[in-house]
């Protein structure tokens, strides 16, 4: 999977000096130095130490999402025993970590394994062009110096869990770090999967359980019914996780207020809702209207033809039909992103090893026959529906389906036939 990079300064260079294109060659290029990118780099150098690689990061720091969003109180919405890397245990019993803690964890992981030395910061990929005559990707990049910037409320399902996991605390106290990490991870996967499956099969029961927890935490049934009882079923959208009931405490103490309404307009005092209520505010953080961008907005073409993502199928949730030697990361909607990201990285390493054994230079996911198109992400959320027309689809049969089931994927990604649904080609010998 080779991809030389070519730097072509453009309007987004923010005054960067024009330089000659960088035509350095790498066996593998990883785009992004966030949680997934650092994990992918670790798996690659672990399984294929002989391969050259680089990481192109558009920002000036490691961390991805966790470096971009720095507003007060930002934290994980998944427990760290599954959001963390399986090869580097999360060493505290604190299940839900703050943004700065996660950012430090990613940076420390990159430094510990020498991955930070492979990162090219301020290098945003804007286009990727595959040329079959040379069996190679060429990436066009821009130099950037951008830094990140950062009223609810529609009703959301909220679930509280202890800030510190006492079971994990005991495991960490009694067992070696890696053994404790594996058991903590398995426990979290089992509990999260059980809640998700129960939500899908018995939504009424889960609604009652969540409502009972909210009433206990807030002590006010009217408040729960008005502000924490959505029209949709649990896990039609992601649940909101609060550690130690801190949101309940903030509301009941009067330090925070919840308003469920639509915004009519901004006024000098703050916000006026459609019902006429004025919500006074010095600062308004806009947290609605998210627009998802497939592949980070990179323009992808194969032999001069633009790739139409909307009519592409995902292969095992990580490659695209008709697109050679390229993989992407799509995490779970019902569990920690890292669980699937790590499975995808390890599968790519399996694929590279398979290509080495058979002398192949090119691997292209290739569907056989027609398939019904289904949305990639099974969430009934506005930001997902808005993006459906621009995102690839999943099919109705393997290996073109993307399951939201870690236990199933764990077996499949380790044992599935790497050659199924793929077309391979040997190296071209040019004069």
- Per-domain residue ranges for the chain? 5-149+290-425, 158-256
> CATH topology for 5-149+290-425?
FAD/NAD(P)-binding domain (3.50.50)
Decide if pLDDT at 151 tops 50.
Answer: no
pLDDT in tens, 68-104: 988 888 888 889 999 999 999 999 998 899 999 999 9
pLDDT band of residue 163 (cuts 50, 70, 90) is confident
pLDDT confidence of residue 423: 97
Report the alpha-carbon distance of residue 396 to residue 145 in Å, rounded.
43
pLDDT in tens, 234-274: 988 888 888 889 899 999 999 888 888 888 999 999 999 99
Q: Is 251 left (phi over 0), alpha (psi -120 to 50) or beta?
A: alpha
Report residue 133: phi and psi, to 5°: -70, -30
Q: What is the dihedral of CA 353, 354, 357, 360, to 10 degrees?
A: -110
β-strand partners of 365: 422
H/E element holding 196?
A: helix 177-201
pLDDT in tens, 100-122: 999 999 999 999 999 999 999 99
Distances (CA, A) of 306 to 7, 124, 166, 301, 303: 20, 19, 52, 4, 8
Q: Which range, of 119-133, 227-241, 391-405, 408-422, averages the lowest pLDDT?
A: 227-241
């Amino acid at each position: 999977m080779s991809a030389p990079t070519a730097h072509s300064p453009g309007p987004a260079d923010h005054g960067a000096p024009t330089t000659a294109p960088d035509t350095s060659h790498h066996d593998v290029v990883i785009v992004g130095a966030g949680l997934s990118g650092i994990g992918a780099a670790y798996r690659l150098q672990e399984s294929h130490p002989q391969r050259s690689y680089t990481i192109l990061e558009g920002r000036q720091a490691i961390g991805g999402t966790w470096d971009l969003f720095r507003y007060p109180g930002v934290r994980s919405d998944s427990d760290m025993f599954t959001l963390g890397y399986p090869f580097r245990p999360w060493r505290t019993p604190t299940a839900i970590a703050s943004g700065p803690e996660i950012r430090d964890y990613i940076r420390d992981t990159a430094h510990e394994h020498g991955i930070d030395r492979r990162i090219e910061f301020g290098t945003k990929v804007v286009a990727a062009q595959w040329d079959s005559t040379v069996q190679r990707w060429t990436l066009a990049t821009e130099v950037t110096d951008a830094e990140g910037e950062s009223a609810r409320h529609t009703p959301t399902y909220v679930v509280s869990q202890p800030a510190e996991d006492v079971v994990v605390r005991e495991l960490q106290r009694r067992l070696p770090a890696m053994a404790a990490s594996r058991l903590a991870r398995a426990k979290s996967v089992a509990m999260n999967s059980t809640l998700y499956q129960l939500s899908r099969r018995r939504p009424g029961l889960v609604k009652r359980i969540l409502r009972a927890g909210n009433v206990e935490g807030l002590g006010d049934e009217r408040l729960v019914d008005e502000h924490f009882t959505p029209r949709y079923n649990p896990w039609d959208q992601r649940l909101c996780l609060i550690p130690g009931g801190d949101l309940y405490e903030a509301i009941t103490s009067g330090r925070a207020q919840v308003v469920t309404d639509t915004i009519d307009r901004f006024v000098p005092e703050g916000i006026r809702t459609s019902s006429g209520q004025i919500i006074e505010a010095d600062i308004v953080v806009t947290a609605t209207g998210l627009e998802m961008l497939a592949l980070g907005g990179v323009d992808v073409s194969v032999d001069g033809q633009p790739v139409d993502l909307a009519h592409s199928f995902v292969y095992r949730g990580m490659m695209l039909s008709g697109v050679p030697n390229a993989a992407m990361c799509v995490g779970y909607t019902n569990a920690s992103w890292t669980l699937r990201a790590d499975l995808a990285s390890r599968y790519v390493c399996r694929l590279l090893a398979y290509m080495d054994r058979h002398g192949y230079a090119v691997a292209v996911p290739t569907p056989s026959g027609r398939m019904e198109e289904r949305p990639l992400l099974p969430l009934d959320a506005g930001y997902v529906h808005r993006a459906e027309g621009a995102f690839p689809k999943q099919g109705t049969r393997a290996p073109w389906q993307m399951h939201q089931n870690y236990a199933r994927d764990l077996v499949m990604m380790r044992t599935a036939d790497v050659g199924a649904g793929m077309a391979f080609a040997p190296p071209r010998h040019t004069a």
